[in-house]
Amino acid sequence: MIINRVWQMPNSNTFSIKPIKELIEKYAIGKIVDPFANSNKLATVTNDLDTQYDTDYHMDALDFLKIFDDNSVDTVLYDPPYSPRQVSECYKNLGQTVNMQTTQASYWSKQKEQIGRIVKKDGIVITCSWNSGGIGKKYGFEIQEILLVPHGGWHNDTIVVVEKKVE
């Protein structure tokens, strides 16, 4: 496993942060799916709940992931809201209901389950978060590389985990 640490200014558009974008370009292959694309155009199939973004779909991320067949995706770029507070803010800003399903750990675990289902063997998931959990061994993934991106001051690091599906 490779672990790197590269300082960079924060940016709400995670994939525009230079070392993160470079890591994506290094690993992302084939059919690339992004369930939280925002304004990013790095994936071949994009989704964002917010209709202001020019994405292929405007669905809840879990519903979006469910449209793919088992073992049909080469790469997933997974950059969800990092905390229950961020989920709550995103949903409220879009006039969506905030409830227990959207603010519990199951919000992320249900998405991870779908990602595990759709990614092909030897496929890649690149997860951005404030932790290094990634998708995990439970769903057949093995960590290849971790990138820590400190942003200075009292900002949380962005932690990027690259995993390969081995099972």
For residues 80-102, give the mean pLDDT: 65
pLDDT of residue 13: 92
* Position 87 confidence tier, pLDDT thresholds 50, 70, 90: low
- Give pLDDT, residue 10: 92
Range of the domain at 107: 2-165
What's 109's domain CATH number? 3.40.50.150
pLDDT beyond 70 at 2: yes
Quick one: pLDDT at residue 116? 98
Where residue 93 falls among pLDDT bands split at 50, 70, 90?
low
Q: What is the mean pLDDT of residues 105-119?
A: 91
Per-residue confidence band for 89, with pLDDT thresholds at 50, 70 and 90: low
The token pair that represents 24 in the structure block: 């994506």
Count of domains forming the chain: 1
Residue with the larger pLDDT of the pair 34 and 100: 34
The mean pLDDT value of the chain amounts to: 91
**Residue 108: which pLDDT band, with cuts at 50, 70 and 90?**
confident
Residue 150 has pLDDT above 80, yes or no: yes
- The phi, psi pair for 161, rounded to 5°, reads -115, 125
| pLDDT tens digit sequence for 5-62 | 999 999 989 999 999 999 999 999 999 999 999 999 999 999 998 899 999 999 999 9
